[in-house]
Amino acid sequence: MKRLSSVLSVAALFASTHVYAACVYPKAPEKLPDGATATKEEMIAAQKLVKAYNDDIKTYTDCLKAENDDAMKAEAKKPEKERMTKQQREELDKVNVQKNNAAIDEAQAVTDRFNEQIRAFNAKSKPKS
């Protein structure tokens, strides 16, 4: 019950201060080409998509940090009795870290999958000796 109360408090904080409202989680590329059958043009196009996605993830994580920093500045300006408790601040930080880490993990997974396809593409392109 304490955990639920804590989560609800953080949710209320998000709602009341519009924290994270502007941070839009980027959508990963839907499909990457199969390197074993893809053309060079398809691989280059996929590379551009993956790079744009990684740039979008960077923008998203920067936004999370900026909005968290702004929320903490706004919180510091509130009268003492209206400020978050230490537990609420810790929960907010925890949520922020989880969002950040999830975004970075997904971006790494997309990059890893694309790198696998690059290796497959390069393997089919190597002259057989």
The domain total for the chain is 1
Contact yes or no for 46/32 (Cβ under 8 A) = yes
Host H or E run for residue 122 = helix 86-125
Tens of pLDDT, residue by residue over 102-112, are 999 999 999 99
Does residue 12 surpass a pLDDT of 80? Answer: no
How many CB atoms sit inside 10 A of residue 49's CB? Answer: 18
CA distance 113 to 52: 15
Indicate the pLDDT class of residue 129, thresholds 50, 70 and 90: low
The domain in which residue 67 lies consists of: 2-125
Question: pTM for the whole thing?
Answer: 0.76
Tens of pLDDT, residue by residue over 63-99, are 999 999 998 999 899 999 999 998 998 999 999 999 9
Q: What is the DSSP string of 55-94?
A: HHHHHHHHHHHHHHHHHHHHHHHS-GGGSPPHHHHHHHHH
